[in-house]
Structure 1
Amino acid sequence: MAQQEFIAKIAPAAVADMKKTRVPASLTIAQAILESNWGKSGLTVNANNLFGIKGTGTAGSVNMPTTEYVGSTPIQTSAKFRKYNSWAESIADHSALILNGTRDKPTRYHGVLGADYKTACQKIKEGGYATDPAYPQKLINLIETYALHQYDVDKSDNSVDKEAATALKLEDWEREAGLKAIDSLACKGLLNDPDKWKKRLTDDPAGVMSELPWLMFTMLDRVTEPAK
């Protein structure tokens, strides 16, 4: 599976869970990439486990080899990992783990919730998710390399997007109003070369709209100016 295909496959579920739990989607995706080796790990292939979460999942568990760190020393061992029926279940369980923590410490991963991606990557390590001392930087590198932070923006309720949408609506209104004004002035013989104005309106509706009122009043003054 190609890298962008992998990201596209899991991003919708990561974003949906972010809206419910405030777990940054960028963190979810980056962890899935790192833990599953882009969906190619034996744990992912055999158990749909994208995140290396241990224990019993919705479809039981599997024993798999794993690498743990004692300080900075890697140790090869075996552990029981959760098994799922689908990747979507794995993603939902990952978010639930971060949100609910563990029995001994329910707030273990709460530093992740609603955090920017760099803070989230550090806090997930501090919470004890991984023993690799380089874990946070590995996640940050993935997020920045593949621009995963773009998924942390909630497109359904984001002020930047709303502003863009408002600007687009205003621009459409300006074009429509401009066309009416140009046609009106042209019909009254107050505007030369209306096609040229319409072309300008397409490229710069706000600029044309700022000129038309001035042009209208100028032309009207000329028409109503008493004969000498």
Structure 2
Amino acid sequence: MDVASFPALRFYRKDGSVTRYRGPRRAAPIEAFVKRALKPSVKNVPGQQLANFIANDDFVFIAKLQGESESINAYFRDFAQEYSDRYSFGITTSESVASNGVWCYNNIDRTQHAATDLNDPNALKKLLNLCTTEIIPQLTRRNEMTHLSSGRSLVYYFSNNEADREAYVKALKPIAQRYAEFLQFVTVDSGEYPDMPRNLGVRSAGGLAVQNVHNGQIFPFKGDAAASPGQVDQFIVAISEGRAQPWDGRFDEGQEAHDEL
């Protein structure tokens, strides 16, 4: 059944088609996946239903067309077929639309983006990458190389508690947006990466550390990052101004960290 790792989820239809689940193994994303799988990959959405449709999923793509356009319609439907297991897709047709285009609504970060040059064969892929990139993603084995090689310094938040990580993301999102050009904020499930907190100067399974990817310096944060975003902001400013001292590889008790540091 083409299972590469466990646990694995597949959605089987009566016609024999199969859809692979690629999301996190949590109840809410799995429920959203099943709801999408039970619907057509693209829904025709009347104008009066547009607002409700947009609010119905974390990421929603809407093709807004001036009239019947077979080429754009087919282009959008092929794209939706590829990604309908992860996102919702709709088409609305109206003579009042200024020009044909596709809009993506990111309801997690409350942002929206558009692609209006649909002659570009990569327009929708670019739109997808731009719209679905989370401001503070969770570091996983699948995406770790992308974030570690981004060229931006990393702000890690470690916790083995999902609710705690979600509270941190909610509290730190404005700060992460402000520093997005220079810093990549990520959360880390310390149960999945048990050695990483200690290697970055975080004594327990929970905490925050900043790593300068250019010179390797590490700056552990002392305090509750989720409860004090203002202090995290000041901490980042202190690092940028050279007022914060990098970690020397030792913990407060004088105990050395791992030899590899």
**Pairwise same-fold verdict (TM > 0.5):** no
- The bucket for the TM-score relative to the shorter chain is under 0.3
| Greater helix proportion | 1
| Greater strand proportion | 2
TM-score where L is the length of structure 1? 0.22
TM-score where L is the length of structure 2? 0.20
Greater relative CO, 1 or 2 (CA 8 Å, sep 6+): 1
Based on CA coordinates, which of the two structures has the bigger radius of gyration? 1
